[in-house]
């Protein structure tokens, strides 16, 4: 498993440093600012729709995002996988050295959770989020800060987090979310 992970890592990270244009694109996809800003802006766009369905979709995505982050914190208590650049010399690092554990890839997990929760409401919009999660995950491996299995694990855990919320949490919370959305809209916050 570790050997396969390392082989995949070498395959993707091995491309880094060869084409400056590709390095630039991957760096911007991997930063904490580009993809998260686009994702949050999309959520905000639907939150401001003034319609119950779109507002519920946005809230559902945000709750799945928070739930995924809680799971990450819990997992980090149990296992702290070192980053590729701390255990291997043959890593082309195009990024700063993050200090938190490598598994799971937080960004991949959070975006997958957001995307899957939204996909359950609107497949076209959810699909955009899942493509963003895919792009950021691959970019994080390319720039050398995650192993591929960190990203795969992040995506899987994100999907599980969103699905558990969608199946067990959202049906109970839906009336409250609708009422809260209407109340916030009435006082001018949504």
Residue 95 corresponds to which tokens in the numbers above? 């990024």
Q: Which residues contact 171 (CB under 8 A, 6 or more apart)?
A: none
Is 30 a binder of other proteins (CB under 8 A)?
no
Is 25 a binder of other proteins (CB under 8 A)?
no
Among 11, 14, 17, 37, binds other proteins (CB under 8 A): 37
Is 73 a binder of other proteins (CB under 8 A)?
yes
Which residue, 37 or 87, has its beta carbon nearer to other proteins?
A: 37
Residue 77 corresponds to which tokens in the numbers above? 């208590």
Among 15, 25, 48, 135, binds other proteins (CB under 8 A): 48
Distance of closest approach, residue 131 Cβ to other proteins, in angstroms? 18
Is 100 a binder of other proteins (CB under 8 A)?
yes
Among 36, 128, 163, 178, binds other proteins (CB under 8 A): 36
Tell me, what DSSP letter sits at residue 83? Answer: P
Q: Which residues contact 90 (CB under 8 A, 6 or more apart)?
A: 10
Residue 73 corresponds to which tokens in the numbers above? 């914190």
Cβ count near 19 (within 10 Å) = 11
Is 102 a binder of other proteins (CB under 8 A)?
no
Among 4, 22, 44, 179, binds other proteins (CB under 8 A): 44
Among 29, 57, 64, 110, binds other proteins (CB under 8 A): 110
Could you give the residue ranges of the DSSP H alpha helices within the chain? 2-13, 20-30, 34-47, 52-78, 84-87, 106-119, 123-142, 148-164, 170-186
Among 3, 77, 175, 186, binds other proteins (CB under 8 A): 77
Distance of closest approach, residue 45 Cβ to other proteins, in angstroms? 5
Rounded Cα–Cα distance for residues 32 and 52 (Å): 30
- Chain position carrying tokens 């060869």: 18
Beta-strand runs (E) in 23-150:
none
Which residue, 8 or 185, has its beta carbon nearer to other proteins?
A: 185
């Amino acid at each position: 498993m570790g050997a396969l992970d390392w082989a995949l890592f070498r395959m993707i990270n091995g491309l880094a440093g060869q084409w400056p244009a590709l390095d630039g694109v991957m760096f911007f996809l991997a930063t904490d600012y580009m993809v998260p800003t686009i994702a949050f802006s999309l959520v905000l766009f639907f939150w401001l729709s003034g319609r119950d369905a779109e507002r519920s979709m946005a809230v559902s995505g945000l709750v799945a995002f928070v739930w995924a982050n809680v799971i990450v914190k819990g997992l980090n208590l149990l296992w702290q996988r070192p980053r590729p650049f701390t255990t291997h010399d043959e890593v082309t690092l195009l990024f700063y050295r993050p200090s938190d554990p490598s598994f799971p890839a937080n960004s991949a997990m959070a975006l997958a959770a957001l995307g899957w929760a939204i996909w359950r409401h609107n497949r076209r919009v959810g699909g955009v989020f899942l493509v963003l999660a895919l792009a950021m995950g691959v970019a994080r491996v390319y720039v050398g800060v995650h192993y591929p299995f960190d990203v795969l694990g992040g995506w899987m855990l994100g999907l599980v987090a969103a699905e558990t919320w969608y199946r067990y949490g959202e049906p109970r919370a839906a009336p409250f979310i609708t009422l809260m959305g209407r109340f916030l809209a009435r006082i001018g916050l949504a």
